[in-house]
Structure 1
C-alpha cells in the first residue's frame, strides 16, 4: 500500500517573524514594567490621618469575619494590639469559605469539587490563625453559612433555605458550628448573630464597610447593623475593607515599609490609621501563613495587607 505523499509545508507569511518579535518585546516590557507603588503624596495623606483610639484593658472587641482569613487581612495587627493592651478579643466567622471553586478543586484534587472539604480545612486554618493572634478557643465562633450566598439570605431566602451550588448544602454541615444543622436562611443567620452579640456583649464591633466590593462582606454589614440597632449597640460599630477596588492594595506582595492607603471604593470614609510595629507585623505574617489553601492561590494579594498600618473607620458614611 502506497502512503499518500504529504503536501509540503506552507511558508509562513513574511510578517510572522516581525510580529512575533514585537509581541515578545511587548511582553518583556510588560514583565519589567515597574509595579505601581505608593506615591509620596499618598504616603503623606496616610500619615495625616488621625490615629484610631487605642484599645483599653478590659474592653471586649468582637470581629465579624465573612470568611476565614478576612479577620487576618483587615485587622490582625490591631487585634494583636488590642490583646497586648489587655482587651478581650473575639472572632466569629460567618461562612466556612467553601465557595472558591478553583481552591476547592486544588484541595480535593478533582475537577468537580464538592466544596465541603475546603470548608472544613479553611475553618481549621482559621483556628490556627486565631492561635497565632492569641484568641482563646472559647472566644471563637463558627457559624457556617454559605460562602457566596449571604445576599440571597438577605432577600429571597430570608425565610426559605438556600442551597449552595458549591457544596449542595442547604443547612450548616460543620459539626463545630454554633448551631449545627441551622438552615441557610436569613432568619437563622440573624438568630445566630443575635446570640453572638448578646453573649459576648462587645464594646467594639469590627465589621466590613458597605463599600467593600464582595457581596458577602457588604451583606454581612446589613445584618450586623440591623441587629446592633435592635440591641442598642450601633454606636460600637467600626468599619474595615478588604475588597476595596481594582487591584487594591498595590503593590502586591509584602511591603512592610509601605503604608496601606485608603481603598479607592471607600476613600470618602472618615478613615483612621492603626500604626503597627515590628511585632504586630510579625504576628500578621504568621497569621497569613496559617491560610495555606489561600496563599497557594492568592498569596501576593494577601501579603499586600502586610503594611505598616491598618485602617479603621468609625462610620460607614462620610462626615
Structure 2
C-alpha cells in the first residue's frame, strides 16, 4: 500500500516504542502477580448449564471474542442460549480508518464506514462462535463516547467528534435513529435485558482501563441491581494495563495471566481445549480491520484459558490502578 510505504518510518518508530514499553514493564508486571503459576493455581469457574440464558455485553466489536470466545463455546456446548450485544460499532479507531482511507486524517464518512465494516465483522465472528444472528444486537452508540452519554449527555444528544453523528446510523442497529444520549442507550439495554431475561451477564469489570468498558460496567451494575439480579453478573477485563497480556502474539499453550489493574479480584479460570482455542483464533481473525493494526495484541488473548470474576470489587481494600500504565487499545476511540 502506498500509504504504508510512505509512512513506514513512522510506523516502525511506533512499533519500536511499543516493544520497548512492553520490555520495560515486564518485571513490574511479574512483580504484581501476573505469573503463569498464579494463573494455573486459580480455581476453575463453575460450568455453564443447559437451559441457561447467557448475555454478553461487549463495548466494541471484538471484545466479546477477546475475553470470552471460549466461554461462549462452552455455554453453547452445555445447552445454554448465548446472546451478544455490541454497544458501539467501534467507529472511533482512527489508526484503522487511516489505513482504510489511506489518509493521515480520515474523515467522518470514512469512520462511519469503518463502523459498518466492524459491525459486519462482529456478526461474522459471532457466527464462527456458533451464535445465531437472531441472538445478536448492535446498538451503535459512539465509540469513545459512553462516559459522555452517562454524564453531560444523558438527556442532550452527544455529537461524535470522529463520525459527526449524533444518532445511531450503523446498518442493522436495534433502534436506528436513536439519539446519542444516556437515556436512549439505557432504554436499549433495558430492552435487551427484557427480551433475553439472562441468567448470566458477562460484563467488563470497572477496573478495565478503557473508558467505554468501565462506563458500561457501571451501567450494567445499576441496571441489574434495579432488577434485583446483580448476582447474575460475571466480570472480565480486556484492557488490563502494563501492556497486558504479555508476551504479545500467539502463545496457544500458555495461560492468560491475571491483569495487573484487577489483580485483587477473585479470579476464576476457564480452561479451554485445543478445539476451542482454534475456534477462538478464527473468530479473532474475522476482525480483519483490527488485526491488521493490532494483530499481536489480539492474538495474545488466544491462550489455554480465559478469566472470569464473580465480583467487580475485591473482598479486601486494595489499589485498583498500578499508576502510570498505558494501553494502546485503551486510547480514546481505539
TM-score, normalising length from structure 1?
Answer: 0.87
Alpha-carbon offset, residue 112 of structure 1: 2.8
1:13-47: per-residue Cα shift (whole Å, max 9, x none)? xxxxxxxxxxxxxx9xx7xx899599799222112
Among 189, 201, 207, the residue aligned to 2:203: 207
Please give the alpha-carbon distance, in whole angstroms, between the structure 1 residues aligned to 2:276 and 2:72: 9
Tell me whether 1:293 sits opposite 2:286 in the alignment: no
Map of 1:166 onto structure 2: 162
How many pairs are equivalent?
289
Map of 2:127 onto structure 1: 131
Please give the alpha-carbon distance, in whole angstroms, between the structure 2 residues aligned to 1:296 and 1:113: 20
Tell me whether 1:259 sits opposite 2:237 in the alignment: no
The DSSP-based 3-state class of the residue aligned with 1:91 is strand
Please give the alpha-carbon distance, in whole angstroms, between the structure 1 residues aligned to 2:40 and 2:118: 35
* Residues 88-127 of structure 1 aligned to structure 2 (within 5 Å): 88-110=81-103, 111-114=105-108, 115-127=111-123
Q: Is the 8 A contact 2:25 2:243 kept in 1?
A: no
The DSSP-based 3-state class of the residue aligned with 2:218 is helix
* Residues 178-197 of structure 1 aligned to structure 2 (within 5 Å): 178-197=174-193
Please give the alpha-carbon distance, in whole angstroms, between the structure 1 residues aligned to 2:298 and 2:75: 22
TM-score, normalising length from structure 2?
Answer: 0.83
Tell me whether 1:218 sits opposite 2:210 in the alignment: no
Map of 2:78 onto structure 1: 85
The DSSP-based 3-state class of the residue aligned with 1:95 is coil
The DSSP-based 3-state class of the residue aligned with 1:173 is coil
Please give the alpha-carbon distance, in whole angstroms, between the structure 2 residues aligned to 1:86 and 1:54: 11
Q: Is the 8 A contact 2:34 2:260 kept in 1?
A: no
Q: Is the 8 A contact 1:107 1:117 kept in 2?
A: no
1:271-313: per-residue Cα shift (whole Å, max 9, x none)? 0000000011001000000000000000000000011100000
* Inter-CA distance 314–35: structure 2 relative to 1 (3 Å threshold): closer
Among 109, 129, 140, the residue aligned to 1:144: 140
Map of 1:46 onto structure 2: 39
1:147-204: per-residue Cα shift (whole Å, max 9, x none)? 0000000100000000001100000012311110000000000000000001100000
Please give the alpha-carbon distance, in whole angstroms, between the structure 2 residues aligned to 1:104 and 1:121: 11
The DSSP-based 3-state class of the residue aligned with 1:92 is strand
Please give the alpha-carbon distance, in whole angstroms, between the structure 2 residues aligned to 1:206 and 1:107: 32
Q: Whose Rg is larger?
A: 1
The DSSP-based 3-state class of the residue aligned with 1:144 is coil
Please give the alpha-carbon distance, in whole angstroms, between the structure 2 residues aligned to 1:152 and 1:282: 38
Q: Which runs of 5+ in 1 are unaligned?
A: 1-26
Alpha-carbon offset, residue 109 of structure 1: 3.0
Map of 1:274 onto structure 2: 270
Among 222, 225, 230, the residue aligned to 2:226: 230
Q: Is the 8 A contact 2:72 2:129 kept in 1?
A: yes
- Alignment RMSD, CA only? 1.9
Choose 172-181 or 87-96, whichever is displaced more.
172-181
* Inter-CA distance 34–266: structure 2 relative to 1 (3 Å threshold): closer
Tell me whether 1:312 sits opposite 2:305 in the alignment: no
1:43-101: per-residue Cα shift (whole Å, max 9, x none)? 22112111000001111110000000000000001111111111111000000000001
Alpha-carbon offset, residue 226 of structure 1: 1.1
Give the 4+ runs in structure 1 shifted more than 6 A: 37-41
